[in-house]
């Protein structure tokens, strides 16, 4: 991942998780340090694209990785991601719902509003 200095101990991350039918093929995998790998699975970092066509990395608030982060929005989105995961939704379902919510709600929406809209989209 661009800008990360931790290149010694890395994890192979499946962009489409294996639990969600992601395959063990090069175009579905990226090497991430342990901290960034954990951040993806916690909903704090978003990886989009494919290695062959280009990957993009975003913070939970939707801002490009390395750019200015809206801390409150990023934390709120990560908390809603975790809540949806605990309810049994897949990582991809959670990410898709949160991406759609960001187009529908203002950045100042509360955690409860975001969760309510995400659940309505997933329901």
Give domain limits for the chain: 10-59, 71-122
Q: How confident is the model at residue 7 (pLDDT cuts 50, 70, 90)?
A: confident
Q: What residues does 33 pair with on adjacent strands?
A: 10
pTM: 0.86
What are the pLDDT digits (tens) for 38-92?
999 999 999 999 999 999 999 999 899 988 888 899 999 999 999 999 999 999 9
Taking only the tens place, the pLDDT of each residue in 17-27 is 999 999 999 99
71-122: CATH topology = Helicase, Ruva Protein; domain 3 (1.10.8)
């Amino acid at each position: 991942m661009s800008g990360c200095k931790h290149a010694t101990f890395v994890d192979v991350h499946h962009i489409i998780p294996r639990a969600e039918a992601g395959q063990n093929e090069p175009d579905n995998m990226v090497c991430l340090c342990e901290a960034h790998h954990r951040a993806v699975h916690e909903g704090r970092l978003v990886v989009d694209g494919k290695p062959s066509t280009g990957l993009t990395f975003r913070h939970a608030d939707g801002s490009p990785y390395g750019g200015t982060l809206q801390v409150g929005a990023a934390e709120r989105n990560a908390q809603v991601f975790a809540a949806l995961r605990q309810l049994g939704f897949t990582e991809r379902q959670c990410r898709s719902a949160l991406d759609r919510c960001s187009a529908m709600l203002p950045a100042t929406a509360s955690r409860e509003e975001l969760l309510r809209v995400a659940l309505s989209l997933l329901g």
